[in-house]
């Protein structure tokens, strides 16, 4: 029973972070939206494979962007 409660808590926190991050990522809204979305996906990746894949895709995109910004 405790395991199910912990899992439901993780899912609720992860979905909440993703929702807040998406709102913060809108144009004109100040805040670190994509960073919050990444945090939410990290929490959700403990429970769901699709969240792990999406998180890894985001990490790869950020790595590519930073390498191209540095001129490498």
The 8-class DSSP code of residue 31 comes to S
- DSSP codes joined into one string, 21-40: HHHHTSTT--S-HHHHHHHH
CA dihedral defined by 54, 57, 61, 63, rounded to 10 degrees?
120
Task: Enter the tokens of residue 30.
Answer: 């100040």
pLDDT per residue as tens digits for the range 46-66: 999 999 999 999 999 989 988
pLDDT per residue as tens digits for the range 24-39: 988 888 889 889 999 9
């Amino acid at each position: 029973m405790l395991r199910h409660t912990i899992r439901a808590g993780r899912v609720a926190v992860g979905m909440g972070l993703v929702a807040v991050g998406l709102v913060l990522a809108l144009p004109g809204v100040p805040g670190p939206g994509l960073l919050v979305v990444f945090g939410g996906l990290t929490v959700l990746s403990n429970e769901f494979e699709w969240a792990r894949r999406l998180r890894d895709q985001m990490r790869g995109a950020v790595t590519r962007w930073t390498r191209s910004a540095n001129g490498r």
